[in-house]
Amino acid sequence: MVRTLPVDINRRSVHSIEPQLREFETSESFAIELTNHGSATHVHLNVDDGLADAISLDGGNHFVEAGRTRRIEATVDQRSRPVSGRLKIVTGYGAETAVIDVSLIPPEETPEKEPVEVDERLSKPQPRQRDPPAQQPETGVPARALAAGALVVLALLFVVIGSLIAGNPAVILGVGIVLVAIAAAAALLYSS
């Protein structure tokens, strides 16, 4: 938060300067607020040697219009504390002068924050909710393949029994070739 140093100009008489504070203490940059209650005027601001290295003003000579307020930024070098000095405000080309004692102090120590209490229940792991089991691809043989295989085996059994009953060597050779082909097809089916 920027602090403000209010100063009234031309309120009592032409070129009058009335700072609302004669002593100003701050730990941060601030604004000099010049409020002109009369005709337009030039206001000159400067700091003495004690503050020259610690405060930089936004310009030295300022024109303040009639009935207006002008803010001049005073930037404080954070490394230059504690230090004291004087801010001089001049109007009417030296006809009137006001002096404000300015003290730059170290920033207030921030109080230690109170420790945050943590509920002991938070230190214990919470049980995880289990996700529903994902659909996994079946690695076994599908039921349809087993049923088809059983039908093929049953049909082959009838063919083998029929060929043995017939006793014809050509039929037995044909049944053997069919059996080898079915065995090869089954092996390819189950290997993929």
Q: Per-residue pLDDT averaged across 24-49, rounded?
A: 92
**Does residue 106 or residue 186 have the better pLDDT?**
106
Residue 1: per-residue pLDDT: 46
Q: Which residues contact 36 (CB under 8 A, 6 or more apart)?
A: 9, 10, 64, 65, 66, 67, 68, 69, 70
Q: In what order do the strands lie in the sheet with 96-104?
A: 23-26, 96-104, 83-91, 41-47, 61-64
pLDDT (0 to 100) of residue 109: 58
The better pLDDT of the pair 94, 187 is held by 94
Contact 97, 88 (CB under 8 A): yes
Q: Return mean pLDDT, the chain.
A: 81
Q: What is the pLDDT of residues 60-119, one digit of tens each?
A: 899 999 999 999 999 988 776 789 999 999 999 889 999 999 998 887 755 566 777 777
Q: Which domains does the chain have, with CATH numbers?
A: 3-104 (2.60.40.10), 143-191 (no CATH)
Contact assessment for residue 73 and residue 60, using Cβ atoms and an 8 Å cutoff = no
- Eight-state DSSP code of residue 139: -
Q: Tokens 């920033």 map to which residue? A: 107
Q: Is pLDDT above 80 for 140?
A: no
CA Rg value for the chain: 51
Residue 51: which H helix or E strand, with range?
helix 49-52
pLDDT at 126 > cutoff 70: yes
pLDDT, residue 164, reads: 74
Q: How confident is the model at residue 178 (pLDDT cuts 50, 70, 90)?
A: confident
Higher pLDDT pick, 57 / 161: 57
